[in-house]
Amino acid sequence: MKRNLLFFLVLGAFLASGSHTSILMAQGAAGAGGQLAQTSVSPQQPQSQTNKPPIPVVVVDYLYLMQIHPVFFAEMNAWEQKVTQANEKIRQEVENLQKMRRELEVLTPGTPDFSQKAEAARQYEAGINLRAMKNNEEAQLEEINIAYKAYQEIKSMVERYAVGNNIYVVINHVDIARRLPAEATVETKSAELAQFPTTVVWRNPNLDITSAIEKWLNDTYEPKGYKSVNFDQLKEQRLANRSANGGAQSQTNVAVGPGQTGR
């Protein structure tokens, strides 16, 4: 299970008030989970200046900030390890079920031995499906909670920045150009085309406050022991994973049926 373009659509669920979130995977080395700061006050927090002329509109790349959020990155990697372990356990149980079914093939239908083993296989299969569904529900709930904490914190930082700099409006703008050329793939091109009718067609680069919020995030968490997330390395790693897996992988759920295995 790998995320394409690092979860395009957890953030979209928040920004579009959606109700469904796919299971999405973080890339990179596993890190220890942590707690998001409740106040996130940085020494560099801009102060309100009433004599400063207002800036009517700026843009910010929420998706990028979610990707490089230090605690979110660490927690999602820990989450990925848990989901991987759950998938592996289900895969082993599916192999056991297949073995039970092969044993049935050499027995005579209608005999007591066949009926007993067939019922055992049926119950075992039902247990696998139940555990897989439970794993999937728990994983999605944990993932959305991790993402929502990071989203809320970034939203709070953006609000404080806007108030402190006399900004009237902040528009979310997924800057595909920031992700190119390292990810000049069908997915990125499609994403750019898809957002064209509603996105900012052009903006002065000075109106993008993403880097300021990124610095604020790092200044908040580096003293607490979290490393800054290097976005260029993140892109290279994702591309390497994509190549190693034979191209972009589609998203899959934890739950699998008999005869199938999770990725």
For residue range 14-56, what is the model confidence (pLDDT) as tens digits?
Answer: 444 333 322 222 222 223 334 444 433 343 445 444 566 777 8
Of 11, 80, 75, 68, residue with least CA distance to 218: 68
| Minimum mean pLDDT range among 51-60, 73-82, 159-168, 185-194 | 185-194
For residue range 110-158, what is the model confidence (pLDDT) as tens digits?
Answer: 999 999 999 999 999 999 999 999 999 999 999 999 999 999 999 999 9
For residue 229, which amino acid is it?
V
Q: Give domain limits for the chain.
A: 57-230
Q: Please give the Cα distance from 88 to 69 (Å, whole number).
A: 28
pTM: 0.66
Percent of the chain with pLDDT over 90: 49
For the stretch 165-202, what's the b/e string if a residue is b when 16 or more beta carbons lie within 10 angstroms of its beta carbon?
bbbeebebbbbbebbeeebebeebeebbeeeeeebeee
